[in-house]
């Protein structure tokens, strides 16, 4: 990407899968971080109330849309490690307050995108903010408001499935 202040990593670069051009020589990963309402008195987990979204800089791929923090995975890290590193760089997120509950992989053959499904640790007050030129804004968005935003197309397509996977993981 072109921003002079952008963090540079091995693995940065474009890949052609045959149908599209994708960012990440070793694939890419993003962090889908959510928080829930408190559990019911009988212990039933609360519903997902909010998700962390990033308003992407206009110069980035699908610029101007909302998606999740993430980027290219390096050759020496797992997709989960890559997603947590990117979320720390782009959103100031402390990985210690995050519990990873699953992964969802979009497979384009030579390139994959791994969505890392995560929740905040119970009781943690998790502050996020844009800390990298790739994001105009990073914030908690109520689930009911997500569909009203101009979403990155791949993220918008996957969103209902991702929310279903989170509930299945409980
Ligand atoms: Zn593709």
Are 34 and 119 contacting, i.e. CB atoms less than 8 angstroms apart? Answer: yes
Distance 16 CA to ligand 1 centre (A): 7
Task: Using the structure block, give the residue that is written with the tokens 């009911």.
Answer: 144
pLDDT at 6: 62
pLDDT at 3: 44
pLDDT at 124: 77
Distance 108 CA to ligand 1 centre (A): 5
Inter-CA distances, 166 with 35, 161, 162, 169, Å? 11, 9, 6, 5
Distance 9 CA to ligand 1 centre (A): 22
Domains of the chain, by residue range, sit at 14-33+47-168
Task: Using the structure block, give the residue that is written with the tokens 């994959």.
Answer: 112
The mean pLDDT value for 143-165 works out to: 92
Helices (H) and strands (E) in the chain, counts: 3, 9
Sorting pLDDT into bands at 50, 70 and 90, what band is 168?
A: confident
Please report how many Cα atoms fall inside a 13 Å half-sphere around the Cα of residue 35, on the Cβ side: 20
Judge: domain 14-33+47-168, CATH 3.30.360.10: no
Are 133 and 3 contacting, i.e. CB atoms less than 8 angstroms apart? Answer: yes
Lowest mean pLDDT among 27-31, 95-99, 121-125, 144-148: 121-125
Distance 88 CA to ligand 1 centre (A): 26
């Amino acid at each position: 990407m072109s921003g002079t202040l952008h963090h540079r990593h091995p693995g940065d670069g474009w890949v052609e899968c045959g149908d599209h051009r994708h960012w990440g020589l070793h694939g890419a990963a993003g962090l889908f971080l959510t928080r829930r309402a408190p559990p019911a008195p009988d212990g039933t987990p609360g519903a997902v109330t909010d998700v962390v979204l990033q308003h992407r800089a206009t110069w980035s791929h699908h610029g101007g849309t909302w998606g999740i923090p993430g980027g290219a995975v390096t050759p020496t890290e797992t997709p989960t490690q890559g997603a947590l590193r990117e979320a720390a760089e782009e959103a100031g997120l402390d990985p210690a307050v995050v519990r990873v509950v699953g992964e969802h992989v979009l497979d384009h053959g030579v390139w994959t995108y791994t969505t890392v499904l995560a929740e905040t640790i119970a009781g943690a007050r998790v502050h996020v903010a844009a800390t990298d030129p790739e994001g105009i804004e990073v914030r908690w968005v109520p689930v009911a408001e997500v569909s009203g935003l101009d979403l990155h197309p791949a993220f918008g397509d996957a969103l209902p499935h991702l929310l279903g996977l989170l509930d299945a993981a409980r």
